[in-house]
Structure 1
Amino acid sequence: MDDRLKIGFFCAHDPYDRRSFSGTPSYMLDALGRRDDIVLRVLGPYRRGYRGKLLSAWRRWRKTPLRGPEAGAVKELDWVIVPVSSRFIPERRGAAGPKFVHVTDATPQFLRDFYARPTSRQADLVEQTALERADLVVYSSGYMAGRALAEFGGADAAKIHAISFGLNLDALPPPPGAKPPPDPLKLIFIGKNWQTKGGIIAAEANEILNRRGIASELTVIGGRPDDPSRYGNARFLGYLDKGRAKDYRLLTRSLSQAHLFVLPTQADCTPMVVAEANAHGVPAVINEIGGISSLVREGENGFLMDPGSDAAAYADKIARILSDRPGFDALAAGSYEYCRNNLTWDAWARDMIALIRRDPEKARHSRIAGREAG
């Protein structure tokens, strides 16, 4: 008897395109496809012009025949996972048919508050409707799950959970060896928006360390200040496209050579660049804001800073980390292990399927639902 769960996957973004929504739906789909305890079916015509055809496809998807060896085995789906596609959570009619999981990383209000993104009030209504219709709602952080409960009055707390998103890399790098002595110390900052991501604080912290006699270099990927020359010990590489082999090699080389990832971000949801740094054995020193506490376990894969921390506070923290070399080596090794066990898409798929298999009322008390709550 085949007791595998029959899982559908439907997304408003093309899950076969690594460029679509930063590749998140694509990596989700790949991770689910690697599991041998489910039968996976992708719903929707993913081809050129597919966006205009999604709604009609959604309405008729039950009538679409399956292809491949599972065609005869899958008569009906148990669950449908719908990532970052609020408007496509259908209204349930009776108990028959699959249940639906709404997966997302932010509420519209959060995008307005923290990113000044011009989402409309209609977006709030769409999101609230998705929360009401879905059988499970899974956010990428406990922080965002809490915001959803606060923003959408009457939301059913029993079905709202948090599971960290995964690392958007095709493969986890091999375990890194011991880091070379920090002489000089190599810091790395990655963020497109220099101001919002706290680039000035990172650069000034680097300068403070050097003035204190701690030889330090900062590599900056993404954003640039108006006058890069004012930061003498910083190297600005600009934006690196992971889809280009040359840029990808430079990014991974920069990460593998770094000792610490520094991100004094002023506004963030769940920046998976933390996992990218951890995957190269690089602990994070980062502001505790948004859902970041869901990504960083204090002393295991990095350290959380108060959102009001200035450059001197960052320099103090970095100096303390370096003062204990055995402790730093353990932190670097622990960062890789934490990423492998908690911040990959395989870990996301593992926790997602485990949550689906459990009764939602009981699952809210489980490690999966509870590890990121608060």
Structure 2
Amino acid sequence: MSIRVGFFSVNNYLDKTSFSGALYYMYQALAKQDVTITNLGTPQKPFLGLNIIKKVKKLLKNNIINTSKNLSDDDNYQDFITIVHKQLEKNNCDLIFAPIASKELSFLKSNLPIIFLSDATPELIKNSYQIYKNEKEYSLACETELMAISKAQTLIYTSQWAADSAVSNFNADPNKIKIVCLGANLDFTPPVSQIYEKLNSSKLRLLFIGGNWKRKGGDIVLETFNSLIRFGIDVELVIVGAIPTNAVNDSRIVTIPFLNKNKPSDYKKYVNLFRQSHFLISPTRADCSPLVFSEANAYGVPAITTNIGGIPDLIKEGINGYTLPLSASGDKYAQLILDIFNDQKTYKLLIESSRKEYETRLNWDVWAQQIHSIMAQSIDKVK
């Protein structure tokens, strides 16, 4: 069934670095289905000067540079919606797909069926991330969430954790809800032969990826590393996306503060880290549905993480990784990793089952097929 979809987001969904790349890969995956996409808003493909522009925008946001035109947040969204309304008038769409777009939806006026996708709710974000500056900001977020949920014909959540909150905290109709896991932000699926390369190395290689060192459990990662050293293990730790809060002076720890997936050289470096690593370690303190687990699984890398948020929907115990309680220490992580790594037969099976989870469940093609089916059902409901 061919479907005409309006892709709706204020974020730049043509940029791999925007919103962790999730919107970019959603867009690309949907485009491979029997779908005609209308770009709503003003998405732009990135170019070499993009990082400079982003830095300038950050300065503007922080009021370091004075500007003659000071728009409120609502003004910016209203400008965006004005553009979208004109685009919808000119283009025939069967429905609107709105991923991570509750604020945008609160401004939208349309009679088209709306599919709203999210990985959390303001209630979960408040409790887990603690990003709201005050109660007023949180209340406004709740209001926009309620409006988005009420406007949407279908609600897609990336985990049962998020779906349960939508029902209990925002009165979402359970019959409107679907749960669909996200994919891996990779441009291609690595050949199966690559997932076994890591077995040729006797050195234990751990990989940590995350922008927020504290929230992602960075200190526990270092505890785990030090515990393995005390156990006499030849180990290497690669840290990507963050800089440890405490100075680290150890040649066995490699820190890569930032990799831009829009740059071919950085992207190649990023995926090669998965090829070389035995475990992805992520003792995160708060998370929704981390995409990095799917990326690791594509390379047969199991994730060792915490049993919080939407993670239990992604990680199946002993299949594509393991989860530990939030209270687990670095010693606990080290012992679990060591027990698995020392049993090469068990570890090889874990590599294979991790890859299978990616192939059958945690890739964007599977995601897009499920979304296309949901879209077709949504259109049938209004006929």
Pairwise TM-score range, normalised by the shorter structure: 0.7 to 0.9
- Write the letter of the residue equivalent to 1:162: I
Q: Secondary structure at the match of 1:217?
A: strand
Q: 1:321 to 1:147 in 2, by over 3 A?
A: same
1:8 positional shift: 2.6
Q: 1:92 to 1:324 in 2, by over 3 A?
A: same
1:243-282 deviation digits (Å, cap 9, x = unpaired):
3333333322222111111111111111111112112221
- Write the letter of the residue equivalent to 1:184: K
Q: Secondary structure at the match of 2:4?
A: strand
| Partner residue in 2 for 1:369 | none
- Give the 5 Å matches for 1:283-362: 283-358=302-377
| Contact 2:153–2:378, Cα closer than 8 Å, also in 1 | no
Q: 1:256 to 1:5 in 2, by over 3 A?
A: same
Q: 1:43 to 1:242 in 2, by over 3 A?
A: closer
Which has the larger share of helix?
2
| Partner residue in 1 for 2:10 | 12
User: Under a length normalisation based on structure 1, what TM-score does the superposition of the two structures give?
Assistant: 0.83
| Partner residue in 2 for 1:138 | 156
1:171 positional shift: 2.1
CA distance in 2, matches of 1:47, 1:242: 16
1:45 positional shift: 4.7
Q: Secondary structure at the match of 1:229?
A: coil
Q: Secondary structure at the match of 2:326?
A: coil
- Write the letter of the residue equivalent to 2:9: C
| Contact 1:138–1:160, Cα closer than 8 Å, also in 2 | yes
Query: Which among 39, 42, 46 is matched to residue 39 of structure 2?
Result: 42
Query: Which among 106, 115, 122 is matched to residue 140 of structure 2?
Result: 122
CA distance in 2, matches of 1:209, 1:313: 11
1:356 positional shift: 3.1
- Write the letter of the residue equivalent to 2:98: V
CA distance in 2, matches of 1:107, 1:271: 15
| Contact 2:302–2:321, Cα closer than 8 Å, also in 1 | yes
1:230 positional shift: 5.4
| Contact 1:203–1:231, Cα closer than 8 Å, also in 2 | no
Q: 1:215 to 1:357 in 2, by over 3 A?
A: same
| Partner residue in 1 for 2:191 | 174
| Contact 1:136–1:160, Cα closer than 8 Å, also in 2 | yes
2:233 is aligned with 1:214: yes
Q: 1:263 to 1:231 in 2, by over 3 A?
A: farther
| Contact 2:195–2:299, Cα closer than 8 Å, also in 1 | no
2:42 is aligned with 1:28: no
2:101 is aligned with 1:85: yes
- Write the letter of the residue equivalent to 1:41: T
Length, aligned pairs only = 345
- Give the 5 Å matches for 1:151-300: 151-152=169-170, 154-175=171-192, 176-178=194-196, 179-181=198-200, 183-229=202-248, 233-300=252-319
CA distance in 2, matches of 1:297, 1:156: 28
CA distance in 2, matches of 1:173, 1:268: 26
1:72-95 deviation digits (Å, cap 9, x = unpaired):
xxxx543221112213437999xx
- Write the letter of the residue equivalent to 2:314: L
Unaligned 5+ segments in structure 1 are: 66-75, 363-374
Sequence identity (%): 31
- Write the letter of the residue equivalent to 2:144: V
| Contact 2:320–2:354, Cα closer than 8 Å, also in 1 | yes
| Partner residue in 2 for 1:150 | 168
Q: 1:46 to 1:259 in 2, by over 3 A?
A: closer
CA distance in 2, matches of 1:106, 1:59: 27
1:170-193 deviation digits (Å, cap 9, x = unpaired):
222222242324521111111122
| Contact 1:189–1:220, Cα closer than 8 Å, also in 2 | yes
**Runs of 4+ residues over 6 Å off in structure 1:** 90-93
| Contact 2:321–2:350, Cα closer than 8 Å, also in 1 | yes
Say what the alpha-carbon RMSD is for the aligned residues: 2.8
